[in-house]
Amino acid sequence: MTKIGDYEIPQGQLSLSGPVARPATGTLPIRGDLAHIALAEHYLCAHYVVPQQRRIGAEKVTLLCQPREGADAVTTLAAGTAFEALDYAGDWCWGCCGPQGPTGYLLISQLKA
């Protein structure tokens, strides 16, 4: 896991110099539609997100590859772990433990209020 903190918005034009390998699911915080702002200079994406700083609630949480019960596990996060929320949809939150991951889905109710 990497340090969670403040992220600067890149200045100037963003461009890539060639093909970039797509990271494995559950690693870097990048999807087909959006990515963590810290990855803007390395991965081309339609939208970049400055994360909302949150924490895991009172119990440990299994971070999942997909937003559904029974999906493959990415890792388990201890209660109180810092978490960067990148997207909310329905009951689910997609986020990470920093720009180098791990990345996955958890129920919004599993985050500290």
Q: What is the pLDDT of residues 69-79, one digit of tens each?
A: 999 999 999 99
Structural element, H or E, at residue 63: strand 61-64
- CB-CB neighbours of 17 under 10 Å: 5
Ranges of each domain in the chain: 34-110
Give the residue ranges of DSSP H helices in the chain: none
Q: What is the pLDDT of residues 81-92, one digit of tens each?
A: 999 999 999 999
Alpha carbon dihedral 16, 24, 90, 50, in 10-degree steps, equals -40
CA angle 33, 36, 37 (to 5 degrees): 110
Q: Which CATH superfamily is domain 34-110 in?
A: SH3 Domains (2.30.30.40)
- Could you tell me the pTM of the whole model? 0.84
Residue 102: pLDDT band by 50, 70, 90 thresholds? very high
